[in-house]
Structure 1
Amino acid sequence: MGQFGMGQPVRRVEDQRFVTGQGRYTDDISLPNQAYALVLRSPYAHATIKGIDATDALALPGALAVLTAADVKAAGLKPLMTPIKLKNRDGSPMVVVPRLLLAEDTVRYVGDAVALVIAEDLATARDMLDTVMVDYEDHPAIVETARAVEPGVPQVYPEAPGNICFDWGSGQPEAVEAAFAKAAKTARVRLINNRLISHAMEPRNAIGDIDADGRLTLYTSSQGVHDLQEVFADEVFGLPREKLRVVTPDVGGGFGTKIFPYPEQALVLLAAQKLGRPVKWTGERSDSSQADAHGRDNVTEAAVAMDADGKFLALSVDTIANLGGTLSPYGPFIPTLAGTMMLTGVYAIPCASVRVRGVFTHTAPVDAYRGAGRPEAAYVIERLVEEAARVTGLSSAEIRRRNFIPAAAMPYKTALGQTYDSGDFNQTLTEALRLGDLDGFEARRAASAAKGKLRGIGLSSYIEACAGGSPEDARLVMDAGGKVTIFIGTQSNGQGHATAYGQLAADALGLDIAEVTMVQGDTDRIRTGGGTGGSRSVPIGGVAVTRAAEALIEKGKRLAAHLLEAATADVEFAEGRFTIVGTDRSVGLTEVAAKAKAGQVPDGETPELDGDGRFKPPAATFPNGTHIVELEVDPDTGGVTLERYIVVDDFGAVVNPLMLAGQVHGGIAQGAGQALIEEAAYDPESGQLLTGSFMDYGMPRADLLPQIEFHLRNVPCTTNPLGIKGAGEAGAIGAPPAVINALIEALRPYGITHIDMPATPHKIWRAIQAAQVKAAAE
């Protein structure tokens, strides 16, 4: 293994370009004769559109067009549709509603797109937004998740009575009922998994262009160009795919939110068609807050049945999942098939029953956000296990140890149908507890008390499923100068793909990583691609890269045999050279590539040194680990300070430990942010978004977290040829329950057993005041 090979802490090769301002993002692209577009959004959560008058807007100097739903219909464009078709528990189909590119007669959330204004410059486009007159008839709205199913609340769609999109279930409800009937003890929780806005550094954006032959090009920040090409060409515009090129340059963060297609991407293409020139839309932070797909927003009631020794007998989970005012493409998938199979967590639970009701509300659509269903599942089971510890009187560690799936039981099929291939959950817990110095905790608690502070310690033992599903293809091409280009259909959003793939290719080919470059994000240059999501890029794309490198070497052997006048079987490859076995006759990789480019290849071979690789995972990977949080609470203010954060993870084989740590740190920041400060809140009376800017939405900052103590205790993965388990979402999965469990431990002297996320200082202070009043009354 060279200095750039698998397992080496190589510094990211992208960073020099990024930190010196040499990145090229969609907003950096300006095309000749480019026009500018802005979206007119609804100020109402629920209203009828009685009319739109664009006369004054179009009279402004520099105004070019105002597109409405009538223009979309006239052009024959189709709406965005979810590919997810769930069955209800009674076997009937879920309610499917289209996501309109522009609202037709009704708006269903604040920020719903009503019109696209286009002008010669941005200033004129802003003036046009102010002068397009829309006649709205305002109606009552429902924004609260649990109340959406109550009788008498406003209905979002007439075809979805009770606001129910689907009533889905899985598991063994009869067995669960029987287990609860005979249980010695039960633990129950009611949890809110708060709504979040991903707020990537780079807002969403799109540029539509058209050439003289009518071929369209979409430039957009995304997590994969091929899915967008398929949706917009096949489904929305009804075009052959070769008539639409999709390009994604550098991306400033995705977090799941940029996986799916959005109306604005179709609208700029339609605008380019109508005007015959490029049209650019760059979202602002208000667009992100109002119209990006939000994340989470579940209300869950869960219970676990136990025998007299605290062994789990059965799990019951009932969730109401907010889908928003229309269906984002994967919205129905996230709270059902994406996450519920992980609800049993790392525990040997004989039977489980799950019910999920997806509900419409007058809020922004909800879809995948870092972890996409698995953080929700981990939060449910880890908060429930903590409640089980309280009910039984066992410690947090002991209740887990009594119920862990043993390492010797792998592979293990859970009650919800997931088969874990590997993992030693007791190992990560034991190591985390050792690092956390639990023996010294009471002394630290006493020291905090002497300062008038409350101290708590809490943990979570998480597992998630990722890096399964669709295949990925990679192509490696070496030029005559010995430089290798990787062509691959994943899409880096800041994770460091060029480094990780470069390490794998450089290691296989015996090159310096500086000789390897990567091409992503262009449907004209890359044939296929599954994009980036679900921590799939390195576990799946990385295997494809190694296989492409192996194919390049095999072709190189054939070319070298031709050059050396030997049999291919007699040629071996090592350290960048092809050698005839048992001789000193050899030729270097670069020379073979140069000779190939010059046409010196045997019959039947293309004049290029290249290789193609593909990998389709047979199953998911299952990263897991233990998070331990120690914190202080100021009872006078409710303020929380995270004092220590320890995580021990099992990610299988590691490509780059430096980048891996960065992924974990980022996920923990988002998870701790959700636990303590982040929430997309709507006013229940008006339906207005109350957290539409950073003045009101609590973003994690540097002072939220202590130095994260990151450790690995890896068990090789058996479902991935490289042994890699996905790691991009793990931090966001383990953090929320660990933080809340630690908080509840700190508040235990007040008899407080639960606080919903986000546990803001005000919420904590109110809980303390209520507990003190209750204690005084008793």
Structure 2
Amino acid sequence: MNVVTPFEGIGASVRRKEDLRFLSGRGQYTDDLNRQGQTWAHILRSPHPHARIRGIDTRAASAMPGVLAVFTGKDMAEAGVGGLPCGWLIHNKDGSPMAEPPHPVLAVDKVRHVGDPVAVVVAETRAQARDAAEAIAVDYEVLPAAATMAQALAPGAPQLHEGAPGNLCYDWHIGDKAVVDAAFARAHKVATLELVNNRLVPNAMEPRAAIGEYDRGTGDYTLWTTSQNPHVIRLLMGANVLHIPESRLRVIAPDVGGGFGSKIYHYAEEAIVTWASGRVERPVKWTADRVESFMSDAHGRDHVTKAELALDQDGKILALRVSTLANMGAYLSTFAPCIPTYLYATLLAGVYTTPAIYCEVKAVFTNTVPVDAYRGAGRPEATYLLERLMDVAAAETGIDRIELRRRNFIRPDQFPYQTPVALQYDSGNYHATLDQALQAADWAGFEARRAEAKRRGRLRGIGVSTYIEACGIAPSAVVGSLGARAGLYEVGTIRVHPTGSVTVLTGAHSHGQGHETTFAQLVADKLGVPVAQVEVVHGDTGKVPFGMGTYGSRSLAVGGSAMMKAMDKIIAKGKRIAAHLMEASVEDIEFERGEFRVAGTDKKKTLTEISVAAYVPHNYPIEELEPGLEETAFYDPKNFTFPAGCHVAEVEIDPETGRTQVVNFTAVDDVGRVINPMIVEGQVQGGVAQGIGQALLERCVYDENGQLLSGSMMDYTMPRADDLPPVGVATHTTLCTHNPLGVKGCGEVGAIGSPPAVINAVVDALKEYGVRHVEMPATPERIWQIINANRPRMAAE
């Protein structure tokens, strides 16, 4: 066996192994799969945001060519199919549980948003299923709709669910209100800001798809699906919806083309095709088209917030007070309740020594698509609020915005640092990332660039964002006490084959992050096996021990740590085998770079020799050890990890059109130990692209009656190549102190730090117009209106 070179291990920019098949069109996504005897499903969806179903006539559809079956919500309910479960329980201020109304797989009595599934047609072809669905006659009694949180909370508002009076899901809080109020009473200055975190549509490259297959011979079900966590789908769907024992249900998530959180949840379509396959006794396939995705995939963000920051005469933060309305949409998606609470309010200290914080969150049901985690999930909302508020506070106090941040940073010697909102940060150096970013962005030379832009008739601005996030959500006991209905550990199995090559089985799942390369690098670094000889297996509940999937930048911090523990077991067993083969004491065996050595001698055995001995145990301590060389470990984190950093955006605005162009962007992030710098750079750049999209372009819009206006790529503006600048990426490392790799996570940092940096730059560019705040997205129309509304005032001055 060739020993790995140092350039393949931790810290090396190894080219992604998986890209050969992806870039050559050899990937295998769910829609690429076709099962023998396969049929197609088409789902009829409600055109109304709110209506009572008085009846469904499926007779004409059932008689159409190729149709095998038509099912309604009543059919599924009569068959004992349960509703989609919610995975996190939140309690109200008074300790009572949140409202948790039923979420039927197919609507039974009412529809509650445009796109709510009403019936499913199973036919021989996709076209036949679609044609038959158009023949289904649904008798709707259209009801008034509440499309916004203001409408839903208004007196006399239309009620979405009987079990949620006033359309309120929960009224939650965190922090000590009395202490915060007292701090505000003695404040020298108070900065106040009301803002909106706009609703987003995830738009992964690959639309969702699912294939359900029932095996008549065994009674087993298999679901192929575009999922970030197949084990969780098996658990939720099997136990709560279809009531199938886990031994009879296999969930496979093959290659997945992007997710950004939108493929974490258990969706109705997964249960529909699995259940329908048992009824028609043939495989049933469904693939969303892009328009369908806009009204069936969970949306992201959608907060309305009032925030206040109290400061003393020296600009030191005394307290923060926040009141947020969070849109849940029409139903509770799998993890929706925890996003505006434990993944948002607990991050409101940011990177600052904020002595007291009080936050209250009201979650509201509206006649819109359900809202759940989207890249960052609560942390972008917290960072946007805090970093916009810091700039407002700088203007209020007259203190330079960089200086104000420096005065309030948590210092390196203050770690571990306990915030007033539950979290304890273990490590960081926020001064260092700020200094590095300012230098890389040439902050000092900006005013010269502003003057040059003004000569060209452009408005130029620069903005900064110093952020923190929480990743690797943990530990299980803590999140369980906070309402999580699942554990948040991860599993790793290391299988060393007789020839010394290695298979890694992980509960983490890749949907574009490069896991097959990064995880192989861990093995290369730890066991000395070349990357090319490491196979990574994921996404199949029939092969992988129970794992919790990928989200919250947990893959390395949690999944990688489980692998490290399993490799420690491999090495420990290998040392015992080596000691026997070389007639030495186990305590004298050292392992490094794929070789077991007897300390102080030239005796050695390679990992391959040890693995051969384990699988061909002719000379083996059989009375002490079982044959084989395979180990499994579970890792339950001791704490969150806390990536942090500084992003700097520079923009130019054309005052005649309102168009904003991001001309420079610098990101300096502390993601802990960097395993593959090239992959980190790509992850950060991708997140920044999404953050710029939210800041300047993207917004999901409903009209006052609940109709989705931005329901296609014609109406929803995604960032394109010419909307994005070159993104300079650098890292500054402080190690996580509580996982064996020292990693923190990098998948979401770009989307967290970038929106406030861009909006702060836009406000800076417009400061001569007296602009204090600009809502996202800062579209050309919005900016043009702001400029023209303020031109008379400027002329008067």
Equivalent runs, 1:359-508 vs 2, <5 Å: 359-469=364-474, 470-508=488-526
Q: Is residue 274 of structure 2 the alignment partner of residue 269 of structure 1?
A: yes
Mean Cα deviation higher: 149-158 or 379-388: 149-158
Mean Cα deviation higher: 711-720 or 444-453: 711-720
**Corresponding residue number in structure 1 for 2:234:** 229
Q: Kindly provide the amino acid, as one letter, of the partner of residue 623 in structure 1.
A: P
Question: Cα offset for 1:560?
Answer: 3.2
**Corresponding residue number in structure 2 for 1:121:** 125
Poorly superposed stretches of 4+, deviation over 6 Å: none
**Secondary structure class of the residue paired with 1:523:** coil
Question: Cα offset for 1:566?
Answer: 4.6
1:145–1:297: 8 Å Cα contact kept in structure 2? no
Distance 2:612 2:315 in 1: 69
| RMSD between aligned residues | 1.5
**Secondary structure class of the residue paired with 2:130:** helix
Pair 1:767–1:620, CA change in 2 (3 A)? same
**Secondary structure class of the residue paired with 1:764:** helix
How many residue pairs match? The answer is 777
Mean Cα deviation higher: 589-598 or 520-529: 589-598
Q: Is residue 194 of structure 2 the alignment partner of residue 190 of structure 1?
A: yes
Question: Cα offset for 1:558?
Answer: 2.6
Question: Cα offset for 1:432?
Answer: 1.5
Distance 2:321 2:593 in 1: 57
Distance 2:766 2:393 in 1: 17
Pair 1:494–1:348, CA change in 2 (3 A)? same
Pair 1:184–1:564, CA change in 2 (3 A)? closer
2:700–2:710: 8 Å Cα contact kept in structure 1? yes
Distance 1:572 1:309 in 2: 57
How big is each residue's C-alpha offset from its partner over 1:728-773, in whole Å with a ceiling of 9 and x where there is no partner?
Answer: 1111000010000000000111111111111110111111111124
Q: Is residue 337 of structure 2 the alignment partner of residue 332 of structure 1?
A: yes
How big is each residue's C-alpha offset from its partner over 1:57-80, in whole Å with a ceiling of 9 and x where there is no partner?
Answer: 111111111111112112211101
**Secondary structure class of the residue paired with 1:461:** strand
2:649–2:758: 8 Å Cα contact kept in structure 1? yes
Pair 1:473–1:89, CA change in 2 (3 A)? same
**Secondary structure class of the residue paired with 1:264:** helix
**Corresponding residue number in structure 1 for 2:575:** 557
**Corresponding residue number in structure 2 for 1:96:** 100
1:413–1:420: 8 Å Cα contact kept in structure 2? yes
2:98–2:170: 8 Å Cα contact kept in structure 1? yes
**Corresponding residue number in structure 1 for 2:707:** 688
**Secondary structure class of the residue paired with 2:513:** coil
1:550–1:611: 8 Å Cα contact kept in structure 2? no
Question: Cα offset for 1:696?
Answer: 0.8
1:620–1:719: 8 Å Cα contact kept in structure 2? no
Q: Is residue 697 of structure 2 the alignment partner of residue 677 of structure 1?
A: yes
**Corresponding residue number in structure 2 for 1:547:** 565
**Corresponding residue number in structure 2 for 1:594:** 612
Distance 1:687 1:517 in 2: 49
How big is each residue's C-alpha offset from its partner over 1:516-565, in whole Å with a ceiling of 9 and x where there is no partner?
Answer: 01110111111110100110001111122122222112222233344445
Distance 1:73 1:613 in 2: 40
How big is each residue's C-alpha offset from its partner over 1:450-471, in whole Å with a ceiling of 9 and x where there is no partner?
Answer: 1111000010100011113222
Q: Kindly provide the amino acid, as one letter, of the partner of residue 622 in structure 1.
A: F
2:175–2:358: 8 Å Cα contact kept in structure 1? yes
Distance 2:405 2:258 in 1: 35
Structure 2 residues not aligned, in runs of 5+ = 475-487
Distance 1:574 1:177 in 2: 58
Distance 2:527 2:592 in 1: 8
Distance 1:562 1:61 in 2: 71
Distance 2:792 2:95 in 1: 50
Q: Is residue 771 of structure 2 the alignment partner of residue 766 of structure 1?
A: no
Distance 1:44 1:556 in 2: 64
**Corresponding residue number in structure 1 for 2:677:** 657
Of 14, 23, 27, the residue aligned with 2:27 is: 23
Q: Is residue 38 of structure 2 the alignment partner of residue 34 of structure 1?
A: yes
Distance 1:458 1:253 in 2: 29
Q: Kindly provide the amino acid, as one letter, of the partner of residue 543 in structure 2.
A: R
Distance 1:492 1:37 in 2: 27
**Corresponding residue number in structure 2 for 1:163:** 167
Question: Cα offset for 1:359?
Answer: 0.2
Question: Cα offset for 1:430?
Answer: 1.7
1:145–1:298: 8 Å Cα contact kept in structure 2? no
Structure 1 residues not aligned, in runs of 5+ = none
Pair 1:518–1:269, CA change in 2 (3 A)? same
Question: Cα offset for 1:587?
Answer: 3.1
| Percent identity for Structure 1 against Structure 2 | 49
Of 718, 722, 726, the residue aligned with 1:699 is: 718
**Secondary structure class of the residue paired with 2:129:** helix
Distance 1:147 1:734 in 2: 32
Q: Kindly provide the amino acid, as one letter, of the partner of residue 551 in structure 1.
A: K
**Secondary structure class of the residue paired with 1:301:** strand
Of 738, 742, 750, the residue aligned with 2:769 is: 750
**Secondary structure class of the residue paired with 1:332:** helix
Q: Kindly provide the amino acid, as one letter, of the partner of residue 765 in structure 1.
A: W
Mean Cα deviation higher: 82-91 or 205-214: 82-91
Distance 2:305 2:796 in 1: 31
Question: Cα offset for 1:7?
Answer: 1.0
Distance 2:684 2:392 in 1: 27
Equivalent runs, 1:100-111 vs 2, <5 Å: 100-111=104-115
Q: Is residue 30 of structure 2 the alignment partner of residue 10 of structure 1?
A: no
Q: Is residue 617 of structure 2 the alignment partner of residue 617 of structure 1?
A: no
**Secondary structure class of the residue paired with 1:3:** helix
Q: Is residue 170 of structure 2 the alignment partner of residue 150 of structure 1?
A: no
Distance 2:538 2:364 in 1: 37
**Corresponding residue number in structure 1 for 2:482:** none
How big is each residue's C-alpha offset from its partner over 1:24-82, in whole Å with a ceiling of 9 and x where there is no partner?
Answer: 11111111001100111000001111111111111111111111111211221110121
Q: Is residue 664 of structure 2 the alignment partner of residue 644 of structure 1?
A: yes
Question: Cα offset for 1:605?
Answer: 3.5
**Secondary structure class of the residue paired with 1:745:** helix
Mean Cα deviation higher: 527-536 or 584-593: 584-593
Q: Kindly provide the amino acid, as one letter, of the partner of residue 467 in structure 1.
A: G
Question: Cα offset for 1:718?
Answer: 1.1
Mean Cα deviation higher: 586-595 or 378-387: 586-595
**Secondary structure class of the residue paired with 1:286:** helix
Question: Cα offset for 1:481?
Answer: 2.7
Of 47, 58, 76, the residue aligned with 2:51 is: 47
Q: Kindly provide the amino acid, as one letter, of the partner of residue 689 in structure 1.
A: L
1:146–1:320: 8 Å Cα contact kept in structure 2? no
Mean Cα deviation higher: 67-76 or 672-681: 67-76
Q: Kindly provide the amino acid, as one letter, of the partner of residue 236 in structure 1.
A: V
After TM superposition, the score normalised by the length of structure 2 is 0.95
Distance 1:571 1:409 in 2: 40
After TM superposition, the score normalised by the length of structure 1 is 0.98
Distance 2:472 2:728 in 1: 25
Question: Cα offset for 1:309?
Answer: 1.8
Mean Cα deviation higher: 647-656 or 146-155: 146-155
Distance 1:210 1:777 in 2: 75
**Secondary structure class of the residue paired with 1:417:** coil
Distance 1:583 1:745 in 2: 67
Of 535, 546, 550, the residue aligned with 1:532 is: 550
How big is each residue's C-alpha offset from its partner over 1:263-290, in whole Å with a ceiling of 9 and x where there is no partner?
Answer: 1101111101101111111111122100
Distance 1:673 1:219 in 2: 31
How big is each residue's C-alpha offset from its partner over 1:630-658, in whole Å with a ceiling of 9 and x where there is no partner?
Answer: 11000110101111101111112111111
How big is each residue's C-alpha offset from its partner over 1:550-603, in whole Å with a ceiling of 9 and x where there is no partner?
Answer: 211222223334444554444333332333444444332223323433343423
Distance 2:398 2:278 in 1: 68
Mean Cα deviation higher: 462-471 or 726-735: 462-471
How big is each residue's C-alpha offset from its partner over 1:479-534, in whole Å with a ceiling of 9 and x where there is no partner?
Answer: 22322100111100110111111001011111210000111011111111010011
**Corresponding residue number in structure 1 for 2:353:** 348
1:555–1:611: 8 Å Cα contact kept in structure 2? no
